[in-house]
Amino acid sequence: MIKTKLLIFTLLLAICYSCGDDPVPKPKGFLRLDYPPAEYEEIALNLPFTFEKNTLAERIKNIKVDSKNQTYGIDIHYPTLKGTIYLTYIKVNEDNLIPLIRDSQNLTQEHTQKADAIESNLYSNNDHKVYGMFYEVGGNAASQSQFYVTDSVNHFLNGSLYFYAKPNFDSILPAADYLKKDIKHIMETLRWN
């Protein structure tokens, strides 16, 4: 009888320990963000330039104007992406073009403390007299993209991309890539009035 009880106890103990789950590593989860294909519409505001804006962005409601200095500020908000492209237009005169370009370049270089890399790309459209630079900023910098364009005679426009959230390169990368394409489209469709 004792042998039977010992045998049953041993079998029950073996069954209990054999039913344990082996540890299985969890698969890595990746953030999947699907953005709609970009659709563009021409923005013809009362400004010295026009361009095409993505319809995903809000309608431009507010234009900051400084008549004395002939400057305009435009914010293109993307609420679903939690980002904004800030544009600043400045009328060029014989004294301010070089300082404007230098200021734009210095603004980009201020991100070197947090940036992993800054890649600059020359932009030139001779047909519409639009020349400038596009900067891609890699890493946890505050601005992921910046640019400036000019006709070298009358017009200067610079822009930068900022997100509402604390920069974390991995989490904002899909939105940053999407908006970089929009910035390039703004540069490509820009026409001076």
Determine the pLDDT at residue 111: 61
* Cβ–Cβ < 8 Å for 157, 87: yes
Determine the pLDDT at residue 18: 65
Q: How far apart are CA 88 and CA 74, in angstroms?
A: 6
At residue 44, what is the residue type?
A: A
Determine the pLDDT at residue 133: 97
* Cβ–Cβ < 8 Å for 87, 47: no
Contacts 24+ apart (CB under 8 A), 168-177: 168/140, 169/116, 169/138, 169/139, 169/140, 171/31, 172/83, 172/144, 174/31, 174/33, 174/35, 175/33, 175/35, 175/78, 175/81, 175/82, 175/83, 176/83, 176/144, 176/145
- Look at residue 50 and tell me whether its pLDDT is greater than 90: yes
Q: How far apart are CA 54 and CA 162, in angstroms?
A: 16
Token duo for residue 159: 């822009």
The per-residue pLDDT for range 20-32, each reduced to its tens digit, is: 666 677 666 555 6
Determine the pLDDT at residue 71: 95
pTM for this model (two decimals): 0.80
The per-residue pLDDT for range 94-106, each reduced to its tens digit, is: 899 999 999 999 8
